[in-house]
Amino acid sequence: MTSVRRAGSARDGDVAKKETEAPFLIAGGGIGGLAAARALALKGYRSIVLEQADTFGEIGAGIQLGPNVHRAFDSLQVADEMRAIAFYPQNIIMMDSLTQEEVARIELGARFEAHFGKPYGVIHRADLHKVLLEACQGMDGIALHAGTAVTGYEDDGERVTVATATNDNFTGRALIGADGLWSTIRPTIIGDGEPIVSGHIAYRAVLPTEEVPEHLRINEVILWAGPKTHLVHYPLHRGEIFNLVAVFHSDRYEEGWDQYGDTEELNQRFAGEHENVLMMLDKIETWKMWVLVDREPVKNWSRGRVTLLGDAAHPMLQYLAQGACMAIEDAVCLANKIEAGNGDFAAAFQAYQNDRYLRTARVQLMARVYGDFYHAAGVTSELRYMMLSRRTPEQAYDGVNWLYAGVDRSGAAVG
């Protein structure tokens, strides 16, 4: 087991006061787990983060950061670090990948920021994770254990003890399951079986900017929407690389992720689409493949001194680009409720899920609707054009206000 812990900087009175109390256990050191550790530490609570991978890190490619998560970054005191490394495109543009007509546009930049109070950014997943990891490493009160897969837990009403694959037991005051889509904690709390396979496959890759055809080297999030397919591309790392996500329908796969994609199948699915789409796809030799799954929303993801967070609680298709944003919002809300709960964790966890479940359910369900819209053909794609193409920037903002304005069930600002 690798243990990483650095002596930290800020120690406020609360940390000292709470130091003698048992720590929170957090299963999973991904984006949600680290955000939770950081949010708790800022309130003076100790935690132990247990991550199954041998090192704390992230794979994958780009992550879009809505204005709602920037508000949570403020709460986590990582906003400057995120701003320094994220890239800020000028527009999100949906193009019809058969006709090359512009279907919809959300203007980003100053007008967007003035409207929502925060910008819209894109970031490499590894950079987002690194900022959170360094923010955790810089604080007393967070112990990070890599190579430690959680296999189960026991809640005796006073303490929670977690068992691990390395036969180390950890005992804490409560447990937060931030262990993602294939959570080990979730089955004990909810028991709703395997995630739902959508039949949609995502291929992801990054491309050095000099290899992107010159006329497509644009500082925008471009989504090419085609029948049962779409392709998204945008620049990352101050424009040095391009992130590509190609999605298509296929019933060939049942589950699994992080496999290599089959370029031949990809070319078949996108055959007949505009040459700009095909040109981009053609540039990539090696794709990583994700089988996209989600779940029906649930109302109760806490039991006693155990709760869930992020994909473990409410996995969603990525069509609103919000899974990581929701996990980070969860973390901020959870720490607020724990602090307000004054030691009654069961009540705090209920209050947390009560604030979160309708917002996250809406994202889960609307992500499916957006997916249908992206992949429309025939009359549905005509309807999409009619509904989206004539909107003013303010009308486009109104359509996403529920999400980006970032309010919880009570109407209070999230983060």
Ligand X SMILES: Cc1cc2nc3c(=O)[nH]c(=O)nc-3n(C[C@H](O)[C@H](O)[C@H](O)COP(=O)(O)OP(=O)(O)OC[C@H]3O[C@@H](n4cnc5c(N)ncnc54)[C@H](O)[C@@H]3O)c2cc1C
256 in the Ramachandran plot: left (φ > 0), alpha (ψ -120 to 50) or beta? left
Question: Could you say which residues in the range 7-46 bind ligand X, by CB under 6 A?
Answer: 27-33
Q: Which of 234, 319, 397, 404 is catalytic?
A: 234
> Could you say whether residue 85 binds ligand X (CB under 6 A)?
no
One residue of 39, 133, 174, 327 binding ligand X per CB under 6 A: 327
Q: Toward ligand X, which CB reaches closer, 191 or 378?
A: 191
For ligand X, the closer CB: 85 or 347: 85
Among 4, 22, 53, 346, which residue interacts with ligand X (rule: CB under 6 A)? 53
Query: CA 291 to CA 252: how far, in whole Å?
Result: 10
Which window, 48-56, 276-284, 342-350, 361-369, contacts ligand X (CB under 6 A)?
Answer: 48-56
Shortest Å, Cβ 1 to ligand X: 12
Tell me, letter by letter, the H, E, C secondary structure of the chain: CEEECCCCCCCCHHHHHHCCCCCEEEECCCHHHHHHHHHHHHCCCCEEEECCCCCCCCCCCEEEECHHHHHHHHHHCCHHHHHHHCECCCEEEEEECCCCCEEEEEECHHHHHHHHCCCCEEEEHHHHHHHHHHHHHCCCCEEEEECCCEEEEEECCCCEEEEECCCCCEEECEEEECCCCCCCCHHHHCCCCCCEEEEEEEEEEEEEHHHCCHHHCCCCEEEEEECCEEEEEEEEHHHCEEEEEEEEECCCCCCCEEEECCHHHHHHHHCCCCHHHHHHHHCCCCCEEEEEEECCCCCCCEECCEEECHHHCCCCCHHHCCHHHHHHHHHHHHHHHHHHHCCCHHHHHHHHHHHHHHHHHHHHHHHHHHHHHHCCCHHHHHHHHHHHCCCCHHHHHHHHHHHHCCECCCCCECC
Q: Does the protein bind ligand X through residue 353 (CB under 6 A)? A: no
Asked about 234 being catalytic, the answer comes back as yes
Q: Pairing relation of β-strands 24-27 and 174-177?
A: parallel
Tokens standing for residue 270? 């996108």
Rule CB under 6 A: choose which of 121, 261, 323, 371 binds ligand X: 323
Smallest separation (angstroms) from ligand X to the CB of 388? 20
In this complex, which beta carbon is closest to ligand X, that of residue 31 or of residue 223?
Answer: 31
Does 348 bind ligand X (CB under 6 A)? Our answer is no
Distance between CA 331 and CA 338 in Å, rounded?
11
If binding is defined by CB under 6 A, does position 180 make contact with ligand X?
A: yes
In whole angstroms, the minimum distance from the beta carbon of 315 to ligand X comes to: 7
| 96, 140, 155, 311: which one binds ligand X (CB under 6 A) | 311
**Site for ligand X (CB under 6 A): which residue of 15, 82, 245, 348?**
245
**Residues 6 or more apart in contact with residue 191 via CB below 8 angstroms:** none
Q: Does 178 help bind ligand X (rule: CB under 6 A)?
A: yes
Q: Which is nearer to ligand X, 349 or 385 (CB)?
A: 349
Which of 42, 63, 76, 190: binder of ligand X (CB under 6 A)? 63
Task: Work out which of 310, 371, 406, 415 binds ligand X, going by CB under 6 A.
Answer: 310
Is residue 108 near ligand X by the rule CB under 6 A? no
Residue 324 in the binding site for ligand X (CB under 6 A): yes
CB-wise, 29 or 415, nearer to ligand X?
29
Size of site (CB under 6 A) for ligand X:
34
CB of residue 320 vs ligand X: minimum separation in angstroms?
8
96 binds ligand X (CB under 6 A): no
Nearer to ligand X, 53 or 405 (CB): 53
202 lies in the binding site for ligand X (CB under 6 A): yes
Question: What tokens does 6 get?
Answer: 């650095």
When the beta carbons of 96 and 330 are compared against ligand X, the nearer one is 330
Ranges within 277-296 binding ligand X (CB under 6 A): 290
Q: Interface residues with ligand X (CB under 6 A)?
A: 27-33, 50-53, 63-64, 149-150, 178-181, 184, 202, 204, 245, 290, 310-312, 318, 321-325, 327
Which are the catalytic amino acids?
Answer: 234
